[in-house]
Amino acid sequence: MALDRWIALVFVAFCCVYGYAAFFTMDHLLPPFMQRNPVWPSTFPKMLAVAGVAVGLIVLLGVEGNKSEAEPSATDINYRNLGQYKVGQAAVLLGLMVAYALLLRPAGFLLATTGFLVAGSTVLGERKFHIMIPVALLATLGVWYLVQEVLGIFLRPFPFFLGN
């Protein structure tokens, strides 16, 4: 089986687990006044799970089109040449995402997000720190302002030891 079908199989399995959680474990804790609403908090996850399973099955079953197996195109993933892909960068970015999620509360939104943006762009190859740091700061401040002031959702801007 081709690499894209293996990835589709893992994707379908993930969507099935996600769908099980969305359909069977999220709704029983809703308060009674929300159980009569037409849209529940689990509505979007349910739609994502169904769409993910459908798209994954399309790729898994090979319905997306007739490809000639003789000559792969330049855009296809070639599992024989996985060493040519930048798997290390992808792994470091995933590690940065996990670190960002873990540091978001203790370090505060401004520090964690700016650090993630600077570190992520450094991993991707940007070396102009005199441009990168101000852009990351402006983007972080802009998102914080929109979420905090415009939407009215509290987002801790500073580390916990500096107070609220």
Examine the domain organization and report whether 52 and 19 are in the same domain. yes
Give a yes or no: residue 119 inside a domain.
yes
- Where is the domain boundary, 34, 67, 100? 67
Residue 116 is predicted with a pLDDT of 94
Examine the domain organization and report whether 95 and 49 are in the same domain: no
Mean pLDDT of 94-102: 94
What are the pLDDT digits (tens) for 28-77? 777 777 777 777 777 888 999 999 999 999 988 877 765 555 566 666 66
Under 8 Å between Cβ of 92 and 119: no
Q: Is residue 72 part of a domain?
A: no
Residue 78 resides in a domain: no
Domain identity same for 108 and 55: no
Q: What is the average per-residue pLDDT within 124-138?
A: 92
CA atoms within 13 A on the CB side of 155: 21
pLDDT at residue 163, rounded to an integer: 63
106 found inside a domain: yes
Are residue 9 and residue 55 in the same domain, yes or no? Answer: yes
Tally of domains in the chain: 2
In a domain, 80, yes or no: no
How confident is the model over 80-84, as a mean pLDDT?
69
Band of pLDDT at residue 122, cut at 50, 70 and 90: very high
Give the residue, 86 or 115, on which the prediction is more confident: 115
Same-domain status, 112 and 154: yes
CB 85: neighbour CB atoms within 10 A?
A: 12
Residues 6+ apart with CB under 8 A from 72: 78
Q: What mean pLDDT is reported for the chain?
A: 84
More confident residue, 124 or 158: 124
User: How many beta carbons lie within 10 A of that of residue 53, not counting itself?
Assistant: 19
Residue 14 vs residue 88, higher pLDDT: 14
Q: Tell me the whole-structure pTM to 2 decimals.
A: 0.57
Determine the pLDDT at residue 13.
94
Residues 110 and 45 in one domain: no
DSSP at 63: T
Instruction: State how far the alpha carbon of 110 is from the alpha carbons of 11, 14, 62, in Å.
Output: 33, 32, 45
Residue 35 lies in a domain: yes
The mean pLDDT value for 9-18 works out to 93
What is the per-residue pLDDT for 148?
Answer: 87
How do residues 65-81 score in pLDDT, each as one tens digit?
655 555 666 666 666 66
Residues 99 and 47 in one domain: no
Q: Which of 67, 98, 118 is where one domain is finished?
A: 67
Question: Which residues span the domain enclosing 131?
Answer: 87-162
